[in-house]
């Protein structure tokens, strides 16, 4: 019974997210306010439904669902949605929602492709550190994903302004300043969470395996990612890194995030590769 | 109201030079001219719009040449000789007047097509006319309609979407870089007229500080005073560049005054805060390669012209759509005006009564199947007798010749009371 509801709920989440994407797409083309409000409401609904789905999955499995590929991606999508709303609550960035809903839909599509079978939790993961470490890490990735989207938007808009040929994006994209602000905010939040994720992971590793750090591929790549973002943070707040370079760095950093999240699991293996 | 007509008289930037417009008697204030207009014989409703680009009077009056003459006299006062007036003045009647008013409200008749200011000015003018109790049913309807037409044009076309003058284009670009222009610093290099104009627009957008750097300090000080800014000499240029966000250069220098290699260290000192250079000097003041630097945006006069041209051609396409909307709405208004006359109102009134009779008869008779044909006929007769007796008084009130002047008021009243609403 629970399994069926959960199964159906995921398809509803996917359908609502797709609707949000379509609505944001229409708003992007037509720029009509009424459509934007509708799109935002749909995305909010999608966020609430994702929360419900994760709760269902939790009740079904008995552990925080961030272990299998499917669960991790759904949790990532959920984090992106709510990170977006937490950002939107304080700042306005024109048409950001369109880009976020696209990212969200791609993530959910990937989740739909991954196996949804429930595996018993390996003993090593049976700890309350699981939600803390994995949750914080994935939420940090969500903020870094926001910075990535903002970076792409910045590069598109900067190209219009520098080339002085104004195409489709010029009127539809926000000002460079607001995109740079987005980068700065999401980078700072994402970096703090990323650091916390690594620290909690390290403490957990000490408890579970007896060593704080053992150069497992996932750990190594997390550290590379962390250094990439630490460099950005340092450059931004001490040397005034901003604009195009910051946007490019945000894109590179996110590529590293994606590799840490998936590339490592599939290509390199290691003790973190539970989700096969 | 066949004897009344809508008259629109006016002068605008296309027909009349500023020097003449400045001297018009009704140029300042609304109250006096409105009062004078109202006292013109035969004028029932009136309204006046006065902006820096146009003065227009709309009246509802009895059709005769004397009214036009009186209004023209009032408009020009003594500043223009009567025989010269026709060079400047345009007069539109009825549909043409409606059409013109819609063209104005949608800013299709403005100097800068698509600008948004005119609607506010129109509303302001209407408020004055309304407060002075100068408007009546026709003008109320016409002016409200002109607002809604303007809104329709704004929402259905992209006419107001793009900047079509150099200064507007500069502001638009600056907004795409900085978001808001509040708390931004403007540096003018050279104190030319173009720079002054561009700076004026930027100040209108709320920039916080204006600094003028000029070879002759006295000229810089004059200009700085206009914007509440400060004046510096050209020697201080580099240190000023560290604080400026928008730089407008317009010196008469024969060579480039600011090179890429000069600006590079400045960007470091600015901690890469973006800077927007606008070079409106010919020959150019600023090194075109500045644009290659990160967070530096350089537009010269040709670039700005290009932006304006792109926007203009896009806008012209939108203006065609907007004109179609205006034509459509003019036609609708014409229909409403015709509906105001007595005969169609009586017809509509009778039709409504007949419709009600028919509907009620059908309902009642279908329940009284046992009646004979004669009895049915008797009931039908009774129904139509009641309705025509009821209608007799309102119809004769409408037809009453003795107060024909008030026809439009009467028609409006009857239409409202009997719910003969216009479909539009």
If you count DSSP H runs as helices and E runs as strands, how many of each does chain A have, helices first?
Answer: 9, 0
Among the listed residues B52, B134, B357, B403, the single catalytic one is B52
Report yes or no: A92 at the B interface, CB cutoff 8 Å. no
Residue B58 pairs in a beta bridge with: B8, B47
Structure confidence at residue A276 (pLDDT):
38
Cβ atoms of residues A85 and A146 within 8 Å: no
Chain A environment of B159 (Cβ under 8 Å): none
Q: Please report the residues numbered 301 through 360 in chain B whose beta carbons come closer than 8 angstroms to any beta carbon of chain A.
A: 303, 306-307, 310
* Three-state DSSP state, B49: strand
Under an 8 A CB cutoff, do A177 and B177 touch?
Answer: yes
**B303/A162 touch (CB, cutoff 8 Å), yes or no:** no
Instruction: Closest CB to B272: pick one of A162, A174, A243.
Output: A243
Q: Please, what sign has the CA dihedral across residues B317, B318, B321, B325?
A: negative
Tell whether B274 is within 8 A of chain A (Cβ): yes
Concatenated DSSP letters for A28-83? Answer: HHH--HHHHHHHHHHHHHHHHHHHHHHHHHHHHHSS-S-SSHHHHHHHHHHHHHHH
Indicate the Cα dihedral angle A107, A112, A118, A124, nearest 10°.
-20
Locate B111 and state its tokens.
């100097």
* Calpha distance A253→A227 (Å, rounded): 9
ipTM over 0.90? The verdict is no
pTM (two decimals) = 0.70
Do the chains contact at A164 and B175, CB–CB below 8 Å?
no
pLDDT tens digit string along B213-272? 988 888 889 888 888 899 998 888 999 999 999 999 988 888 889 999 999 999 988 888
Contact A96, A88 (CB under 8 A): yes
Alpha carbon of B192 to those of B2, B113, B178, B208, B240: distances in Å? Answer: 58, 27, 25, 21, 19
Reduced to 3 states, what is the DSSP secondary structure of residue B7?
Answer: strand
Q: Give the separation between CA B271 and CA A184, rounded to whole angstroms.
A: 15
Annotate B179-203 with DSSP letters as a single string: S--TT-EEEEES--HHHHHHHHHHH
Q: At what angle do helices A96-113 and A69-88 cross, to 10 degrees?
A: 170
User: Is pLDDT larger for residue B289 or for residue B339?
Assistant: B289
What confidence score (pLDDT) does residue B145 get? Answer: 92
Residues of chain A in contact with residue B184, where contact means CB-CB under 8 angstroms, are none
3-state SS assignment for residue B230 = strand
| B138 Cβ under 8 Å from any chain A Cβ | no
Rounded to 10 degrees, what is the CA torsion of A72, A77, A82, A83? 90
Percentage, residues of chain B above pLDDT 90? 25
Chain B residue whose CA is closest to A169? B176
In sequence order, which residues have a C-beta less than 8 Å from that of residue A153 and are 6 or more positions away? A93, A95, A96, A99, A173, A174, A179
d(CA A67, CA A60): 14
Does the beta carbon of A266 lie under 8 angstroms from any beta carbon of chain B? no
Instruction: Report yes or no: A144 and A60 within 8 Å, Cβ to Cβ.
Output: no
Instruction: Say whether pLDDT at B100 is over 90.
Output: yes
CA distance B164 to chain A (A): 14
Sorted by where each begins, the domain ranges of chain B are: 4-156, 166-306, 342-417
Is B134 labeled as catalytic in the residue annotation? no
Cβ–Cβ contact A162 with B under 8 A: yes
Q: Do B177 and A245 touch (CB under 8 A)?
A: no
CATH superfamily of B166-306: NAD(P)-binding Rossmann-like Domain (3.40.50.720)
Place of tokens 């949804």: A116
Which of B162, B177, B307 is the closest to A176 by Cβ? B177
Q: Which residues on A lie below 8 Å from B175 (Cβ)?
A: 175
Length of chain B counted residue by residue: 424
Nearest to A176 among B161, B162, B176 (CB): B176
- Inter-chain touch A157–B176, beta carbons under 8 Å: yes
How many residues are present in chain A? 276
Starting at the edge strand found earlier in the chain, the sheet holding B90-93 runs: B43-50, B54-62, B4-12, B90-93
State the pLDDT at residue B424.
46
| Cβ–Cβ under 8 Å, residues B299 and B277 | yes
Listed by number, the residues of chain B in 287-306 with a beta carbon closer than 8 Å to a beta carbon of chain A are 291, 294-295, 297, 299, 303, 306
Distance from CA of A186 to the nearest CA of B (A): 18
- For residue B92, the cross-strand partners are B8
Residue to test with chain A: of B158, B175, B176, most A Cβ within 10 A: B176
Q: Does residue B286 sit in helix, strand or coil?
A: strand
Q: Do B175 and A170 touch (CB under 8 A)?
A: no
CA A37, A43, A46, A51 dihedral sign is: negative
Q: Would an 8 Å CB–CB cutoff place B66 in contact with chain A? A: no
Q: At residue B61, what are phi and psi to the nearest 5 degrees?
A: -150, 165
C-beta atoms of A242 and B272 within 8 A: yes
Domain boundaries, chain A: 1-119, 122-276
List strands edge to edge, sheet with B185-189: B230-233, B209-214, B185-189, B246-249, B275-279, B296-300
Q: Do residues B27 and B64 make contact, with C-beta atoms less than 8 angstroms apart?
A: no
DSSP B124-170: HHHHHHHHTT---HHHHHHHHHHHHHHHHHHHHS-TTSS--SHHHHH
By Cβ distance, the residue of A162, A166, A174 closest to B307 is A166
- A159 touches B: beta carbon within 8 Å: no
Q: B242 with B269: CB under 8 angstroms? A: yes
| Residue A242 contacts B, CB cutoff 8 Å | yes
CB atoms within 10 A of CB B357: 18
pLDDT tens for B386-417 read 998 998 988 888 877 666 667 777 888 888 88
Residues B182, B198: Cα–Cα separation, whole Å:
16
SS3 B297: strand
Q: What is the CA radius of gyration of chain B?
A: 31
Written out in words, the top-level CATH class of the domain with range B4-156 is: alpha beta
Each of the 276 residues of chain A gets a pLDDT tens digit; together they read 777 888 899 999 999 999 999 999 999 988 888 899 999 999 999 999 999 999 999 988 888 888 888 999 999 999 999 999 999 888 888 899 999 999 999 999 999 988 888 878 887 788 888 899 999 999 999 999 999 999 999 999 999 999 888 878 888 899 999 999 999 999 999 999 999 999 999 999 898 888 888 888 888 899 999 999 999 999 998 888 888 999 999 999 999 999 988 888 777 766 665 543
Residues of chain A positioned with their CB less than 8 A from the CB of B180: 177
Could B179 and A170 be called an inter-chain contact, meaning their C-beta atoms sit closer than 8 Å? no
Q: What are the tokens at B294?
A: 């990160």
Contacts of A182 (CB under 8 A, 6+ apart): A87, A91, A93, A96, A146, A147, A150
Contacts of B5 (CB under 8 A, 6+ apart): B60, B61, B62, B63, B93, B94
Determine contact: B272 vs chain A, CB below 8 A: yes
CB contact under 8 A, A240 and B270: yes
Tell me the pLDDT tens digit for each residue of B20-49: 777 776 656 788 888 888 888 888 888 988
| The pLDDT value given to residue A271 | 60
| Chain segment B121-156, per-residue pLDDT in tens | 899 899 998 888 888 888 888 999 999 999 998 888
What are the residues whose beta carbons fall under 8 Å from the beta carbon of A165, sequence distance 6 or more? none
Q: Closest approach of chain A CAs to the CA of B161, in angstroms?
A: 9
Across the interface, whether the CB atoms of B272 and A170 are under 8 A apart is answered no
Residue with tokens 């009214």: B67
Amino acid B240: pLDDT: 92
User: A172 touching B, CB under 8 A?
Assistant: no
Q: In this complex, do A170 and B274 lie within 8 Å of one another by their Cβ atoms?
A: no
The answer, yes or no, to whether the previous bond of B283 is cis (omega within 30 of 0) is: yes
């Amino acid at each position: 019974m629970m399994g069926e509801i959960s199964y159906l709920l995921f398809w509803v989440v996917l359908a609502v997210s797709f609707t949000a994407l379509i609505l944001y797409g229409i708003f992007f083309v037509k720029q009509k306010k009424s459509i934007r409000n509708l799109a935002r409401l749909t995305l909010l609904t999608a966020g609430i439904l994702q929360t419900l789905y994760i709760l269902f999955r939790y009740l079904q499995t008995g552990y925080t669902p961030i272990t299998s590929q499917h669960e991790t991606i759904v949790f990532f999508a959920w984090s992106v949605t709510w990170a977006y709303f937490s950002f939107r609550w304080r700042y306005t960035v024109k048409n950001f929602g369109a880009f976020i809903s696209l990212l969200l839909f791609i993530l959910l599509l990937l989740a739909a492709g991954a196996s949804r079978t429930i595996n018993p939790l390996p003993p090593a993961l049976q700890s309350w550190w699981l939600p803390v470490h994995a949750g914080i890490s994935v939420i940090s990735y969500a903020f870094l994903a926001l910075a990535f989207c903002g970076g792409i938007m910045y590069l598109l808009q900067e190209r219009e302004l520098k080339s002085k040929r104004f195409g489709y994006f010029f009127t539809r994209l926000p000002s460079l300043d607001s995109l740079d602000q987005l980068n700065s905010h999401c980078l700072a939040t994402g970096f703090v969470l990323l650091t916390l994720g690594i620290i909690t992971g390290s403490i957990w590793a000490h408890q579970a395996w007896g060593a704080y750090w053992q150069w497992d591929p996932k750990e190594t790549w997390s550290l590379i990612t962390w250094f990439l973002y630490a460099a950005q943070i340092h450059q931004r707040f001490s040397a005034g890194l901003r604009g195009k370079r910051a946007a490019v760095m945000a894109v590179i950093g996110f590529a590293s995030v994606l590799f840490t999240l998936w590339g490592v699991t599939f290509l390199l293996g290691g003790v973190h590769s539970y989700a096969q | 109201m066949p004897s009344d007509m809508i008259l629109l008289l006016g002068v605008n930037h296309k027909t009349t030079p500023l020097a003449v417009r400045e001297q018009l008697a009704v140029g300042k204030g609304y109250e006096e001219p409105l009062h004078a207009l109202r006292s013109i014989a035969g004028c029932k409703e009136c309204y006046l719009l006065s902006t820096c680009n146009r003065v227009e009077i709309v009246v509802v009056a009895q059709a005769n040449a004397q009214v036009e003459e009186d209004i023209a006299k009032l408009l020009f006062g003594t500043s223009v000789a009567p025989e010269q007036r026709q060079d400047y003045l345009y007069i539109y009647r009825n549909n043409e007047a409606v059409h013109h008013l819609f063209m104005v409200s949608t800013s299709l008749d403005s100097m800068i097509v698509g600008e948004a200011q005119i609607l506010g000015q129109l509303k302001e003018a209407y408020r004055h006319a309304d407060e002075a109790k100068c408007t009546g049913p026709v003008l109320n309807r016409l002016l409200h309609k002109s607002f809604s037409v303007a809104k329709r044009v704004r929402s259905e076309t992209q006419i107001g979407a793009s900047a079509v003058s150099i200064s507007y284009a500069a502001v638009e670009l600056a907004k795409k870089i900085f978001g808001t222009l509040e708390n931004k610093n403007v540096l003018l290099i050279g104190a030319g007229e173009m720079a002054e104009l561009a700076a004026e627009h930027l100040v209108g957008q709320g920039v916080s500080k204006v600094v003028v750097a000029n070879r002759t300090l006295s000229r810089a000080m004059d200009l700085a005073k206009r914007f509440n800014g400060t004046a510096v000499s050209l020697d201080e240029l580099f240190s000023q560049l560290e604080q400026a966000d928008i730089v407008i250069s317009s010196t008469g220098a024969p060579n480039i005054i600011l090179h890429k290699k000069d600006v590079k260290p400045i960007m470091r000192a600015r901690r890469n805060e973006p800077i927007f250079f606008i070079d409106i000097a010919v020959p150019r003041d600023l090194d075109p390669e500045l644009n290659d630097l990160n967070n530096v945006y350089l537009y010269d006069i040709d670039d700005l012209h290009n932006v304006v041209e792109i926007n203009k051609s896009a806008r012209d396409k939108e203006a065609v759509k907007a004109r179609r909307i205006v034509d459509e709405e003019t036609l609708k208004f014409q229909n409403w005006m015709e509906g105001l006359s007595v005969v169609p109102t009586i017809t509509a009134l009778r039709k409504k009564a007949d419709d009600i009779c028919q509907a009620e008869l059908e309902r009642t008779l279908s329940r009284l199947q046992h009646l004979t044909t004669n009895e049915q006929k008797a009931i039908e007769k009774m129904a139509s007798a009641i309705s025509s007796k009821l209608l007799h008084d309102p119809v004769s009130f409408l037809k009453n010749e003795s107060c024909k002047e008030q026809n439009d008021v009467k028609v409006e009243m009857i239409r409202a009371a009997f719910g003969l609403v216009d479909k539009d």
